[in-house]
Amino acid sequence: MRLLVLGGTKFLGRAVVEAALARGHETTIFTRGQTNPDLYPEAEHLVGDRTGDLSALEGRRWDVVVDTSGYVPHVVRRSAELLSPAAEQYAFVSSISVYPDFSQPVHEESPLAELADGQPAEELMRDYANYGALKALCEREVVEAFAGRALAVRAGLIVGPHDPTGRFTYWPHRLARGGEVLAPGPPERPVQFVDVRDLAAWIVAASEERLTGAFNATSEPHAFADVVGGAEVTWVDDAFLLEREVGEWMELPLWIAGSPGQERFHEVDTTKAHGAGLCHRPLAETIAATLAEAETVEGVGLAAEREADLLRDWHAR
pLDDT tens digits, one per residue of 43-59: 999 999 999 999 999 99
| Cα 154 from chain centroid (whole Å) | 8
Residue 282: per-residue pLDDT: 97
What is the 8-class DSSP label of residue 57? G
pLDDT grade for 210, boundaries at 50, 70 and 90: very high
- Which pLDDT score, from 0 to 100, does residue 310 have? 98
Candidates 272, 150, 143, 277; CA nearest to 216 is: 272
Other CB atoms within 10 A of residue 134 CB: 28
Contact status, residue 98 vs residue 139, Cβ threshold 8 Å: yes
Q: CATH number of the domain at 2-160+193-217, please?
A: 3.40.50.720
Is 229's pLDDT higher than 90?
no
Distance CA 160, CA 288 (A): 9
Mean pLDDT for the chain?
A: 96
Q: pLDDT class for 230, splitting at 50, 70, 90?
A: confident
Q: What is the pLDDT of residues 150-198, one digit of tens each?
A: 999 999 999 999 999 999 999 999 999 999 999 999 999 999 999 999 9
pLDDT at 74: 97
Give the pLDDT of residue 231: 86
Q: Is the pLDDT of residue 259 over 90?
A: no
Per-residue model confidence (pLDDT) at position 258: 81
pTM above 0.95, yes or no: yes
Q: Report, as an integer, the average pLDDT of 264-285.
A: 98
Under DSSP, is residue 204 helix (H, G, I), strand (E, B) or coil? helix
pLDDT tens column, 66-114: 999 999 999 999 999 999 999 999 999 999 999 999 999 999 999 999 9
pLDDT on residue 301: 97
* Domain locations in the chain as residue ranges: 2-160+193-217, 170-191+222-266+281-315
Question: Once rounded to an integer, what is the mean pLDDT over residues 22-40?
Answer: 95
What is the sign of the dihedral through the CA atoms of 299, 255, 100 and 107?
positive
Phi, psi of 34 (to 5 degrees): -110, -25
pLDDT of residue 225: 97
CB 6 within 8 A of CB 79: yes
Q: How far apart are CA 60 and CA 39, in angstroms?
A: 22
